[in-house]
Structure 1
Amino acid sequence: MQILLKVFALFIVLACGSSKNNSSSNQSENQSGKKFPLHKIKLPEGFKIEVYAEVDNARSMALSPNGTLFVGNRRGDKVYAVIDKNGDFKADEVKIIASDLTMPCGVAFRNGSLYVAEVNRILRFDNIEQNLNNPPKPVIVNDKLPSDRHHGWKFIAFGPDDKLYVPVGAPCNICEKDNPIYASIARMNPDGSNLEVFASGVRNSVGFDFHPDTKELWFTDNGRDMLGDDLPSDELGRAYKAGLHFGYPYCHQGDVPDPEFGNKRSCDEFEKPMQKLGAHVAALGMRFYTGSQFPEKYKNSIFIALHGSWNRSSKVGYKVAFAKVENNKVVEYSTFAEGWLEGQDNWGRPVDVQQLKDGSMLISDDHANVIYRVSYQK
């Protein structure tokens, strides 16, 4: 009888110990969830979101062929390298590779060199991945860009023509400037030469990509402010050749003449948006999805980070949208990920999206200071 009682007591101790360990594990998960409440993010069935790295004011992203993720910021002065050493899709190290810069939002990678966009110049850090612990002094690629900080931060990327595409936002909410570089997407050679305007009438693009098949430029554009809650819409544009004009400051969203400048030119003169993205949603980073991890419906279509409104009576945006593209037309526009906005309070703001080699997708968040990874399992 005594032996049975001892066995029973041992069983109780083991059971309680096991229960305690599970409780501790759940508590740790809950603590992480409170900092980044990922359970609030709604995704289509089969998708999962997790933290990839914590990066202060994470903005635009660029991925090297070796898997190093470079991240710019707008609020601060730094550029980061995010490194996943063991391939578990969680960053093992975040290094500051540049500082004392002016709004170094845009980053692009080419032939071992990292290009960084400040407000008025483009820098290049050569052989950067072999010198992450002791980054080289940057080479000035081009320092002839306007120095206006209003819409002065930039997203940059190399096109299929091996030119660096650089947007130059309007230095105002609404204005007409003689200098054609304003309100444009420009491009230059990798050495900074031959700077030219590629697309005009683009108020403030902070994200673009090139169609994987046609190689045409698609871009987001932020509409003007102070026309009310519901006008005008941000735009998804398509620049299928050089020299096109997309309306600003004369026409907005393809069909709304500007109250001040609209009498000068007709909306019929300009390119129409491929998709109206919503008023004041602050459409920023966008990428065509070319991977094979996500379901087939996402192939060669666009994910768009909607950073969220700041000047609307009720907030909108704060999510990641999806635009399905077929035959150079948007045939579906829908929400892919949401939950950063709860009522009128937001705990995060998506900025950019970046595909990883395995076909999963990163989302930067400059409000929560984090980069998420979204993956899919059948």
Structure 2
Amino acid sequence: MESQVERSYSGVTSRVKAAVPRWALRWARQRLPGEGGEAEARRRWVGTRGRVPAVFAVLTAGLLAFHRSVPNSPGRLGSLLDVFLPWLGLVVLVLLGLGLLRRSATALVALLLPVAAWTYLFSGLLLPGAKAGPHELVVVQHNVSDENTDPVGTARALADAGPDLIALQELVSQELQAYEKTLAPDYPYHAVRGTVGLWSKHPLTDPRPLDIKPQGLAGPWSRGLRTVVHTPRGEIAAYVAHLPSVRIRVSGLASSWRDESADLLGKAIAAEQLKTVILLGDLNGTVDDRGLAPLTSRMNVAERGFAFSFPADFPLARIDQVMACSATVAHIGTLPATGSDHLPVAARIALTSVR
């Protein structure tokens, strides 16, 4: 027969259970030994431990797939993301490592999203280029640096690659003669305007400067050249340009002058009378950078090759570009380092008949 004390204890216990929220009781049971509390806690941990990597995987996929939707103000953050977009692949590798370490199916399945996005955007650049065709121009683009202490060695290295055209930027007057003399035997035709120049195995005509100077830039500034190259396949308009530098600051990406200059260059190319156009230049931006949209919206970019060119010691981005209209940039790659802070880039351009 149940004693009065036992009945009283049972009543108090019932009232306590009714007063305590159910979530608190579950929390307490998970932390008390026995009755399966530890096993239940372990199951819960296994089920949730991959959620954080999974969330980051989804966010990374969103940035890759919708990077154009990231606003460019304040601080041109969208353009900053565009510049380093391929490097989001490293985030994918880190998340893969976390998923494997935690043995989380959730994280690994979610990782398929950024892998698919990165593959769609960049995997084509990793494929080998097609074999060189009979109607191709080989071109080299190089910012030789105004602090280059070995212009002769730089010129020889570029000539040894055997291109049809060599475009140079940051040509300073005291070193110009060294480039002209060294390149003359293999490149009898050349044109220089301001600090940019083009050397060619084929005749050049009608060289003239391009006005791509931003309005807010004071002092002398001539960084654009347009000339006609008479190739065996016909006449080609060749543009050589060096757009203003950009700076990464606490406030974001400072690129307004670069963007303005790119717009002026894009308008000049849009007004070009010749069908086939080649642009070679240090554009201080990648082909994904929306600041170069006035150019990339009108011209073909490289189909194969990453060719990160800057900085030379640890290349993070390709800001030295080769683009074309009515021609295909079949492949782009880098050449060995010179005395510049940029790596030279070499590209194969497939031409149709341009006569």
Q: TM-score, normalised by structure 2?
A: 0.30
Output the TM-score relative to the length of structure 1: 0.29
- Bigger CA radius of gyration: 2
Q: Which is richer in strand?
A: 1
Structure with the larger RCO, 1 or 2 (CA within 8 Å, 6+ apart) = 2
